[in-house]
Each structure stands twice: as C-alpha cells, then as structure tokens.
Amino acid sequence: MISESLSGKRIAITGSTGFLGTAIVEKLLRSIPDCELILIVRPGRRGASHRVAREILRNDAFDRLKADLGSEAFEEMTDKRITAIGGDVSVDGLGLDKQGLAELSTCDIFIHSAASVSFDSPLDQAVEINLLGPVRIAETLKNLQVAPHLVAVSTCYVAGSRRGSAPEEPINESHFYVNVDWRTEVETARRIRMDTESNSRTPEKLLEFRREAEEELGAVGTPALAEKTEQLRTRWVDDRMAEAGVSRASSLGFPDAYAYTKALGEVALAETADSIPMSIVRPAIIEAAVAEPSPGWIRGFRMAEPIIISYARGLLEEFPGIPEGVIDVIPVDLVVSAICAVAARGPIEGSDIIQVASGSSNPLRYGRLVDLVRAWFTENPIYDEYGQPISVPEWSFPGRGRVKKQLERASTMLNRAEKIVGALPVRGRQAEMGARLAERSEQIERAASYVELYGAYAECEAVYELDRLMELWSSLNAEDQQAFCFDPAIVDWDSHIPNVWMPSVVKAGRVPMKPPSKNGESRPERLRRQILSPDRHLAAFDLENTLIASNVVASYAWLASRRLSPRDRLRFVTKTLLEAPTLLALDRKDRSDFLRYFYRRYEGAPVDQIAEDSAEKFSELILAKSFPAAIRRVREHKALGHRTVLITGALDFIVEPFRPLFDDIVCAELGQSNGTYTGEMTAVPPTGEARYQALYDYAQKHGLDLRESIAYADSASDLPMLEAVGFPVAVNPETRLAAIARKRGWLVEDFQKSPGTNRRLLPLAPQQNLNSRQRSAVMP
C-alpha cells in the first residue's frame, strides 16, 4: 500500500511552486494522511513561509482539500505538516542555513522537481539549475551524512531528437549518446556569460542600446532613458545566452537547452550520487490533469497552451509537424501518482529510471489533436476586440522551415509598416493604427518563437518505452491503482481534449470567449467613469496637443509677426521654415535643451508689449486651436472637486489666460531686466522627468495622493509623469505612446479641434493697422 509505506515519512521537495511540484504537495497532503513535507523554496523578499502560504497553498489545487476539511482545519493541518525552508538549487550547499540543513537531515525521501523549464532560458541559468541542481543536492546530502531516497524528476526528451524507441535506461548507455564532459559544459557556459556581459558593455554596444531607448521613448529625460538602456542591455545579454543554449543543444542532438541540460544533469547525478539511493522519473510533456486535484487543473501558462491560444486567435496559420506523428502529452496527475509510487516502493539496485509518457501505449496523433482543437474552437470561438468571433485556420502540416519563412515574411512586413507609421508625425487615431500594428507584429513574433522552440517537439518521432512504469503499475494492488493511477491508457483523448483540456486552456489564457455585451459599459467608458469619480484627488494636464493643437514655435511665430511689415513677414516665414528641421531634431532629442535654445529668441522683447499681444494671441491662436472636449474635461474635474493643474514647458505669458481653468499652473518663466525679457529661463522647465518632479512636488505640497490622480499627456516623453499617477490618460498619442498605452490598457482620448477651424502652416498674427500703431522691431 502506497499510503502505508509513505505514512509518517518526512519528504523534502524542491520546485513546489511549479506546476508539477504544487500537484505533488497537494497529492501528498490529501492522500498520505500523516506524512510531513519540507518544502525548499527560494526565500524571495518575504521569506520561505510567506511564499509557501501565498504561492502554493492559495492555488486552486487545494480547493478540494479546503472544501473537505474547512479552511480552518486546512490551515491547522498545513501548519502542522509543512515546514518551509529557504533554499536555492542554483547555489552550492543549496543556500540552506543551519536550521534548513538540520531540517533537511531528517528527511526520508527527497523529491527534486525544481527545474528551469523555459525552453529559451539562458544557457548558464539552465546549466546551474538543471545540470548542477541534482549534483548539489547529492553533495549536500552526503555532507549531512544522510542518505534519503532521492527521486529526481527529469524528462523523456533527454533521449534527444531521434526516431524510434527510447528505452528507460541511462542516456550515456544509449547507442546515440555523444559523450561530452559535463564539467567542461558547466565551465564554458559560465565563461560565455562573462564574455557576453563584457560584449554588452563595449562603448559601441552601449551607444546602440541608448539609441534604441531614445527611439522607443523619445526625450523622456536622463533617468528614464538610463533605466530603459540598462533594460535593453540585460535583455540583449539574455537573448544571446538563450541563443547559445539552443545552438549548443542542437549541436549535440537535443531539441533545446532544457533537454540538453536535463540530460547532462542525469549523467552528472549518476556520477556524483555515490551513497545516495536515487530514482529518476522522466515525464513527457506534462499537461492538464485528467481528474486530480480537479479535472483540467493546470498551473501557469505552459507549453501547449500558448500555441493553442495563438492558433485560436488566428495568428498561427500553420504549425509544423507530421499528422501521424505522436504528441507525447501526459496529464499531471498521472505523473504525480507515478512519483508517489516510486517513492513508496523505495530505491532498488542498479539504475532506476522510469518514463511516464503516453506515446507507446495510448498515442495521441498530431493530426487528431489538431482536428479536436479546431473543432472545439470552431464551436467555441475566441472574440476579437471588435466583438467578432475569430475563425480558426486549417493546417496543412508543412515542414518547420516553410512555417518559419511564412511567419518571418509577415513579421518583416509588419515591422516595415510599423517603422513607416512610427516615422510619420501622426497622432490620435492614426497613431492607434501604429499601436495596433506593433501589437500584431509582437504577436506574430511570439508565434514565430513558438515554432522555433516547440516545432521540434511536434516533429519528434521518438517512442518512449514504458516497461518499468508498467512493471511498477502491475505491482500495485487494486486499491493503489485506484488511488494512484498512472496507467497512460486510461486517458480517452477524444473526450479529455474537448471536455477537460480546452476549457482549462482558455481559462488559463483568460481569452474573451463571448462578445462584449452591448449593454455593459465598454472599457473606455469604465476608465472614464473611474477618472471622473469624486474619489480622485488631482488632474494634471499637459498643454501642447493635449489641450491645444499648437506649440511654442507657433506662439512665438504669432507674437513675433504681429508687428512686422509684409516684407519682413515673408522673410520671417522663410527663415522659420528653413530652421524647422533643426528645431524638430533638437526637440526630439531633449525637450528642455530645445526650449532653452528656442526661448533665447525672446531676448530683448518688451514685457509690456508681449503681455498686451498675448491676450490677443490667446483668442486668435490658442483658443482657435484648442480641443473643446479637453477643456470640458478640465472643467469636469474641477466640478468634481479635483485639483486641476497645468504642467507645461510653455512660457507663463502664453498660458496666463488659462489661469481661470486651473487651480494652478506650473510653467516656464523668462528672466526680465529693464522691462525686457532676457531670453533665459529662471528655472528648469517642467519637461520629461522634471515634469514628473513638478507633479510629485505639487502633490506632496498639497497632501494629494498620486495613486488617486490623473495625468493627461500626448507623448512618450511624458512617460515619467504618466507612470507616476494611478490613472494615466494618453491624449491623441503619437505612435510610441499609443503603443505603450495600448499595451498597458491606459485610457486613450481622441480630442479634436472644433470642426470648421482653418489650418495654417505657420500661424502669423493678422496684419496690424500700421498707420494707427507704432510699429517696433520687437524680436530679432
């Protein structure tokens, strides 16, 4: 009897926060009444116990137990039976402290299920966890001078990409094994990491990252750019390391770094285990449960799910594979039961390797799987953002190369379109289109990466033998076979896939399975309601392209031309237009540098006259180009009792007439001397991160909570301000901000000028009546 032999045992488990690990913990707590569990988890910031409580015991896997016991008794039971200790298999000595070591020394069984399962994890990370993890466990146990039964979870795919039968034997005994020294592999992986880190820090590379960051964010200011640059650098290093993993794996005949490091892990463990009795369990692709803890239970978004969802979204029009090929999928509860049976049976003489797979006794053909999935999504379609059902494509099972090419082509085209749209000076709805393109191309890229990563699995033609598994199965009595079922033949794919698996896939993927209801409020409506709630504190507004379709250049042009003769006006227009590209480039690079440079033009301008002209300019230029809906929004905020503040790099005399609209205005100011402007700003203008700072200071000063505040802005250079508040709103966003807003689900408002307004390239003041007024040369 399994429960009897495991009863009263202390069982150490790694990887209990993962998919398989959680299921093991649940099964042991539920089916073996008085065993005790030592869970080794990475402590994180708040400690191991906290993670166990939050990340394991709160999972819906335990719903059944909680329902059976009542939540109080459940808590009592878990408190009594679970010991959480902080540790990490990627660190020598498992990173255990004294107490942890003491706990570990009391265990009778050690189930190692921690792994870096991501197929594209960086090479060195996969090596540290998958290859060295088991070795470190063995070493630690030997140091403690204990010898519990070590049950290590591996994978069927350690057999590598090959055709035909793969027996349950150590891989280095296989005819196909390419003999490499695992210690050399470890060292090289670490060296590649060092080299890649160095390469990423060359001046050329750093400059490249910086440029990329600027391209993505624009003139957001140094801190934000630095953060982005570093993010891009680490991502680059990780990508290189992932590439290194894939290429090293395939050079040795493995589908990916996961299988490759797992394989060497087995070899290394066999070599270093010495006195530690060990068993290796090799599952195939673990997927949703058949029955336990509940039908269809799954944790996280795993290997097949993203592919299936991409397919259902119509993104994967083809996926490589052979229709009659076998997809070796095994439900998680079968794997858990097999592990329990192995642990209960205890160690045996000689190598003990058990494969848990469905391919040999109950094969699921690839063609069949596709048919079932297609039929299911035809009946239960996913809905797109417009509320239309997406029809799923029919696959023709081409080779991997062809699919990849097809996706690459789509991706290149989208990228090109995205580049073009991104380079256009578009805003609002057109920019939304750019954002949609960006999203689409990201999805395509992800789909391509699935083909890259998982294609090998769909094309794998190895058959995993189950002799030892079935031997173990037949040794169980009927009761155990009932309670710890791991016979792959019991899965009825034709009913399991549509009735159990697919519903859990769409649930895990959180995809819309019904059109958005017409009566219910749409997402923007909901966001708008949240924004216009009396609970909010503060509404901050940018000026240009948020409230008005104008900018500092236009204001200057208007003021400067107001008192010019026709001939001078012409000269002025020509000069300004010729200068436009330089100004634009400067503005893109750094907003405050641009303002500093541009505002010098006001040097020597008489203060009185500017004040007088500004009043006219407000009507002629600013109001004429204002967005009535935006101004209405400011007023709505005010009426709700929110504080309203305008934060802009425009000059005080330009924004002065807006004063009654806002509680406060934070803007740039020019110095004065002898009744004229000096052309130099008195303080750093509120742009980029300075704008965030201004908002932050303002909120502090007035005791307002930024999380309860709203910010309206139009450009990615306003990101620091938008990110600082709880309710960011992108107004007529340019492409970069449109993409960001879409990704993060921010409210996007399309505020327009009042229809019927004229458009002019460069706004000049209407000609003054010259015989009546003194014309004076105002500005250079």
Partner 1 sequence: MKNEKNLAPRPGFVLDVDRTSPPVLFHHGDTFKLEKLPAGRSRVIYPPEPLEGLRDPDSAIRHALENPIGESEPLSALLRPDMKLTIAFDDISLPLPPMRRPDIRQRIIEAVLDLAAEAGVDDVHLIAALAIHRRMTEDELRHAVGDRVYDAFAPSGRLYNHDAEDPEGMVVLGETPHGEDVQFSRRAAESDLVVYVNINLVSMDGGHKSTATGLSGYTGLRHHHNVHTMRNSTSFMDQENSELHASNWRMGKVIRDAGVKIFQIETTVNNNTFGRSGPLAVLQKREWEWSARDRASFVAMQKGLNVMPPSARRQIFNSWEAPYEMTSVQAGEVEAVHKVTTENVYQQQIVEVEGQTDILTMGLPYISPYNVNSVMNPILVMCLGLGYFFNMYRGKPLVREGGVVIMSHPTPWEFHSVHHPSYIDFFEQVLADTTDPIEIERKYEKQFAEDEWYIHLYRNSYAYHGVHPFYMWYWGSHALEHLGRVIIVGGDSSAVQRLGFQSASTLSDAFEMASDVVGPQPTITHMKNPPIFLADVK
Which stretches of the chain bind partner 1, using CB under 8 A?
Answer: 615, 618-620, 623-626, 628-629, 631-632, 635, 657, 660-661, 753-758, 766, 769, 772
**Residue 444 vs 621, nearer CB to partner 1:** 621
Q: Which C-beta is closer to partner 1: that of 603 or that of 664?
A: 664
Residue tagged 């709805």 (tokens) = 429
Q: How does strand 285-287 pair with strand 164-166?
A: unpaired
Nearer to partner 1, 512 or 657 (CB): 657
Minimum CB separation from partner 1 for residue 538, in Å? 19
Answer whether 652's CB lies under 8 Å from 668's CB: yes
The rounded distance, in Å, linking the Cα atoms of 155 and 145 is 29
Give the nearer residue to partner 1 in terms of CB position, either 674 or 772: 772
Comparing CB distances to partner 1, the nearer of 660 and 675 is 660
Q: Which residues pair with 711 in a beta bridge?
A: 540, 728
Q: CB of 64: closest distance to partner 1 in angstroms?
A: 53
Euclidean distance between CA atoms 173 and 162, whole angstroms = 15
Alpha helices in 650-755 (DSSP H): 652-655, 688-701, 719-724, 735-744
The 8 Å CB, 24+ separation contacts for 632-639 are 633/712, 633/749, 633/751, 634/539, 634/541, 634/547, 634/661, 634/662, 635/661, 636/532, 637/532, 637/536, 637/539, 637/710, 638/663
What's the closest the beta carbon of residue 296 comes to partner 1, in angstroms?
A: 48
Closer residue to partner 1 in complex, CB, 429/632: 632
Rounded CA separation 459/456 (Å): 5
Cα atoms found within 13 Å of the Cα of residue 218, Cβ hemisphere only: 25
Contacts by 568-574, CB closer than 8 A, 24 or more apart: 569/764, 572/764, 573/762, 573/764
For the bound state, the minimum distance from the C-beta of residue 48 to partner 1, rounded and expressed in Å, comes to 57
Work out how close the CB of 662 gets to partner 1 at its nearest, in angstroms, rounded to a whole number. Answer: 10
Which CB atom, from 101 or from 623, has the smaller least distance to partner 1? 623
The residue type of 592 is S
User: By C-beta, is 319 or 618 nearer to partner 1?
Assistant: 618
Q: Provide, rounded to whole angstroms, the least separation between the CB of residue 623 and partner 1.
A: 5
Nearest partner of 649 among 583, 615, 598, 589, judged by Cα: 598
Interaxial angle between packed helices 735-744 and 428-459, expressed in degrees from 0 to 180 and rounded to the nearest 10: 60
In the block, tokens 């966003």 appear at 733
**Shortest distance, CB of residue 629 to partner 1, whole angstroms?**
8
Q: By C-beta, is 477 or 772 nearer to partner 1? A: 772
- Min dist CB 626 to partner 1, Å, is 6
Least distance from partner 1 to the Cβ atom of residue 657, Å? 6
Counting DSSP H helices and E strands in the chain, the numbers are 31, 19
Alpha helix (H) ranges present in 460-602? Answer: 467-475, 478-483, 493-496, 502-509, 523-531, 552-561, 566-589, 591-599
Q: Tokens representing 290? A: 């058949």
Closest contact distance (angstroms) between CB of 772 and partner 1 is 5
Smallest gap from Cβ 771 to partner 1, in A, equals 8
In whole angstroms, what separates CA 153 from the centre of its chain? 28
Cα distance between residue 645 and residue 636, in whole Å: 13
Query: What single-letter amino acid sits at 244?
Result: A
Nearer to partner 1, 277 or 657 (CB): 657
Structure tokens at 246: 């894939």
Which is closer to partner 1, CB of 401 or CB of 524?
524
Q: Tell me how far, at minimum, the Cβ of 619 lies from partner 1, in Å.
A: 4
Measured from the Cβ of residue 118, the count of other Cβ atoms closer than 10 Å reads 15
Q: How far is the CB of 547 from partner 1 (least distance, A)?
A: 12
- Judged by beta carbon, residue 19 or residue 658, the one nearer partner 1 is 658
Nearer to partner 1, 436 or 753 (CB): 753
Q: How far is the CB of 768 from partner 1 (least distance, A)?
A: 9
Burial category of 675 from C-beta neighbours within 10 Å (exposed 0-12, middle 13-18, buried 19 and up): exposed
CB-nearer residue toward partner 1: 449 or 609: 609
| Min separation Cβ 616 and partner 1, Å | 9
Instruction: Give CA–CA dist 591/219, Å, rounded.
Output: 6
| Shortest separation between residue 573's beta carbon and partner 1, angstroms | 21
How far is Cα 717 from Cα 285, in angstroms, rounded to an integer?
A: 45
Looking at the Cβ atoms of 53 and 629, the one nearer to partner 1 is 629
DSSP symbols for 260-326: HHHHHHHHHHHHH-TTS-EEEEEESEEES-SSSSSTT---S--SHHHHHHHHHTT--S-----TTSB
Backbone phi, psi, residue 484, to 5°: -125, 65
CB of 378 or CB of 767, closer to partner 1: 767
Q: Which one, 534 or 756, has the nearer CB to partner 1? A: 756
Minimal distance in Å, beta carbon 528 to partner 1?
Answer: 14
Nearest approach, Cβ of residue 428 and partner 1 (Å): 17
Nearest residue (CB) to partner 1, 372 versus 624: 624
SS3 553: helix
Coil, helix or strand at residue 764: coil
Q: Give Cβ neighbours of residue 118 (< 8 Å, ≥ 6 apart).
A: 258
Parallel/antiparallel/unpaired status of strands 36-41 and 285-287: unpaired
Q: Which residues contact 61 (CB under 8 A, 6 or more apart)?
A: 22, 23, 26, 293, 294, 297, 299
